[in-house]
Amino acid sequence: MASAELFKDPFDPDEYVERLAWRTPGGGTKGGAHGFNPQQLFDEFVAHIAELKQLDGRIQRKVEQLETNLQREARAHSEKVADLQKSNQVAFTHFQSLEDRINYVATKVVHLGDQLEGVNTPRAHAAEALKLMKYFDEFLSDDFKSEVLINPYKVRDAADIVHKLHLIAQELPYTTFAEVKGRIVSKYYAIEQELLNEFKEAHKNNDVQKMKDFADTLSHFKGYQYCIDAFIEESLMDAFYNRNELFNEIINLCVKVHKVIIDVFSSPEQVMGKLVSKIFQTKLSEHVHAKLKEHRNTDPEKYLQHLYMLYGKTVELSVKLSQYKLGSDSNFLNKLTKTIFKPFLESYIDVEEAFLKEKAMLISQRFYDSKNHTKKQLHSGIQDLKAVISDKTNIRFGLSSSSSDGNNSETYLSQELAINLLQETKMGFGRCKTLSSVSVLPANATRIYALLLEYLCKQHIEYAIDLGLLAIPSSDPKTEPNIYFLDVVQQTNTVFHLFEKQFSDTLLPLVSASPKYSDCVQRKKKVRERMEVQLDTGIDRCLSSVIGWMRHILKSEQKKSDFSTDQPPQQQCTNACQSVCKYMKKVTEVIRKALDGNNVDAVLKDFGTRFHRLIYEQLQQYSFSSMGGMMAICDVNEYGKTAHLLNVPFVSSLFDSLHSLCNLLVVAPENLRQVCSGDQFANLDRAVLHTFVQLRSDYRSARLAKNFSQ
């Protein structure tokens, strides 16, 4: 029998037919081909289809019945909603009517209240006036009978009465009511004093509520300010115990008292401002003046340290106190701070400058004393003339400061001295930033900067450079020159880099937004350029002295027979060449150690160029046999190897060309023209080639000049 449950989702019609066929006897495959009965399966399908049609009819009738019920319920709900809307409209109408009635009644009540107040207020005023007249009568008769005027425990009630009588008495003519006015005024001040005493007593007992009550009462009296003063005096009494912890104690006191002020006084900002002002003008001011006057005339360093520390702590204190509302003036705390420190800040930079100057002189003198050196006046016309004569001739005047001091390698430059000076000025810049106002900060910082230029750059670095210049040997030395000036160059670079770092990190932020910025930059630039000129001069003279010593080696050790012999070379190079190359390597290492960056490349290039010129000129002095030419090639090859150590391509190319020229000394006469036309000589003037060929001992005998004739 078919039922609706068979068609519940998910419904698969193919599966449904297969299942029906499987249940029908003779419709499946259980009996094989002989067991299959198509007629029976057909009859089963026809019967089942009939059942499905009946099931469809039943379901259709049920659907129609449900739709009818749905429509009936929808109409019922619609009618119910309409009834509810009508009821809501009626309720809203009633609410509006009730609201209008309430407003009407309220208006009547307010009107009635105004009428009652209009009747009661004059009556209350009259009653109040009657009471005041009775109290006034007692003052007039000088016979006090009212308990409120004679009972000391009702001082607050008496205060209200006396305050009002005092206001009335001021309007009365003096001639008629002089005595009674005097009694009222006397009572007024007596009660005022009694209220103050009661307020103080409540403060001692930490009774905040009583303090508030008496403060409120006193707020109508002229002496209300005395109440605030009394509160401040009582608060400050015994509040500070440790002089070294004054700033922390001030913060703790303000935190503690601020809560009481808010609870007691009606204008806490005013009271808190007066309290802070009192603390600054008394306790803090006394502490600052005592600390600074102790060292002002005896120890400038401690004075500056204390001034910096105290001012910094005061500014920090002001920042912490700014969280409290201290009145309408936003610069209130700043003004208090300036007032305290004004006498010291006005003269600060003069004290700072004098201290740094004295400190710089002391540091410098300590260094030179450790070297047993007495500073000399180097810049004079006679000394400059002597230096020039000594450099251009062999005449020596004993100008070398190092010689006079008995130390030929002392640079008189000290990183320790530089660091000490930079540290002192760095602290000075820090104090300057804190203690100088914005308007004078750039000018004050520039004054400190001027001291640094004077004592570090001029009196130390430039002085050491000048000493080094005086000690440089002449360009024609007779002994191996001491070129320790290159150590001066190295140490100058190191010290000046330290100076530039402080210039960028510390000074520039202080002057960057002012005209002083360009002034400071220009002054540093001038000092740097002046030093660079001096160092360049010294390096040039050192190289001249080195080349002069090489020339002396060649002159004393090189023999004509080295290049005129007919014997094959017995060694790699001549003794003179060995000595020169050895010295050349030594100087190269010194230069690399002393210089860095582009400077070392430039100096090595200049040095290599001068070295090439020396060897070239040296070769021009000899006549070369065929074997001598081979010896010259060996020497030049060794010179070239040494020159290659400079790592300067230009210098290497010069020696490569020189090596090629030396080959002309050994070329067979019949091949000379062809060799001179080779690519290796394409960039050389034929006059240069001719000059080298003229050095051959067979120049005339082999008639080599014809190779260069037009």
Written as one letter, the residue type at 29 is: T
Query: What is the pLDDT confidence band of residue 700, given thresholds at 50, 70 and 90?
Result: confident
Cα(245)–Cα(261) distance, rounded to whole angstroms?
24
Query: What is the pLDDT confidence band of residue 693, given thresholds at 50, 70 and 90?
Result: confident
Question: Residue range 221-249: average pLDDT?
Answer: 77
More confident residue, 408 or 539: 539
In sequence order, the β-bridge partners of residue 624 are 696
Query: What is the pLDDT confidence band of residue 582, given thresholds at 50, 70 and 90?
Result: very high
Last residue of a domain, one of 75, 101, 130: 130
Domains: count for the chain? 2
- pLDDT tens digits for range 366-395: 999 998 988 877 654 445 545 555 555 544
Cα(603)–Cα(331) distance, rounded to whole angstroms?
61
pLDDT at 134: 55
Question: Residue range 164-177: average pLDDT?
Answer: 64
Query: What is the pLDDT confidence band of residue 699, given thresholds at 50, 70 and 90?
Result: confident
Residues with Cβ < 8 Å from 417, sequence gap 6 or more?
363, 364, 367, 460
Last residue of a domain, one of 130, 147, 182: 130
Cα(413)–Cα(462) distance, rounded to whole angstroms?
10
Please answer whether residues 696 and 619 qualify as being in contact, where contact means their C-beta atoms are separated by less than 8 angstroms.
no
Please answer whether residues 400 and 470 qualify as being in contact, where contact means their C-beta atoms are separated by less than 8 angstroms.
yes
pLDDT at 380: 46
459 inside domain: no
Query: What is the pLDDT confidence band of residue 5, given thresholds at 50, 70 and 90?
Result: low
More confident residue, 405 or 534: 534
Q: Phi first, then psi: what are they for 368, rounded to 5°?
A: -70, -35
Cα(562)–Cα(564) distance, rounded to whole angstroms?
6
In sequence order, the β-bridge partners of residue 696 are 624
Whole-model pTM above 0.85? no
- Show the domain range for 95: 48-130
Of the chain, the percentage scoring pLDDT greater than 70 comes to 80
Token representation of residue 389: 């004569």
Residues with Cβ < 8 Å from 38, sequence gap 6 or more?
none
pLDDT at 161: 62
Query: What is the pLDDT confidence band of residue 493, given thresholds at 50, 70 and 90?
Result: very high
87 inside domain: yes
pLDDT at 132: 57
Query: What is the pLDDT confidence band of residue 255, given thresholds at 50, 70 and 90?
Result: confident
- pLDDT tens digits for range 630-642: 888 999 999 999 9
pLDDT at 19: 76
213 inside domain: no
Write the secondary structure of 648-693 as one string of H (helix), E (strand) and C (coil).
Answer: CHHHHHHHHHHHHHHHCCCCCHHHHHHHHCCHHHCCCCHHHHHHHH
Res. 483: pLDDT tops 80: yes
Question: Residue range 695-706: average pLDDT?
Answer: 80
Res. 528: pLDDT tops 90: yes
pLDDT at 131: 59
Cα(35)–Cα(687) distance, rounded to whole angstroms?
129
Please answer whether residues 349 and 447 qualify as being in contact, where contact means their C-beta atoms are separated by less than 8 angstroms.
yes
In sequence order, the β-bridge partners of residue 101 are none
Q: Phi first, then psi: what are they for 624, rounded to 5°?
A: -115, 125
86 inside domain: yes
Lowest mean pLDDT among 334-348, 374-388, 509-523, 677-691: 374-388
pLDDT at 427: 94
pLDDT at 402: 37
366 inside domain: no
568 inside domain: yes
Res. 397: pLDDT tops 50: no
Query: 3-state DSSP call for residue 697?
Result: coil
Last residue of a domain, one of 71, 101, 130: 130
153 inside domain: no
| H or E stretch at 457 | none
pLDDT at 23: 74
- What DSSP letter does each residue of 143-170 carry, written as one string? ----HHHH-GGGHHHHHHHHHHHHHHHT
More confident residue, 500 or 105: 500
Query: What is the pLDDT confidence band of residue 127, given thresholds at 50, 70 and 90?
Result: low
Query: What is the pLDDT confidence band of residue 406, given thresholds at 50, 70 and 90?
Result: very low
362 inside domain: no
pLDDT at 456: 93
- pLDDT tens digits for range 593-638: 888 888 899 999 999 999 999 999 998 888 888 888 888 899 999 9
Lowest mean pLDDT among 57-61, 560-564, 569-573, 622-626: 569-573
Res. 82: pLDDT tops 60: yes
Helices 174-204 and 155-169, packing angle to 10 deg: 150
pLDDT at 496: 93
Lowest mean pLDDT among 59-73, 264-278, 402-416: 402-416
CATH number of residue 568's parent domain? 1.20.58.1970
Of the chain, the percentage scoring pLDDT greater than 90 comes to 31
Query: What is the pLDDT confidence band of residue 403, given thresholds at 50, 70 and 90?
Result: very low
- pLDDT tens digits for range 300-319: 999 999 999 999 999 898 88
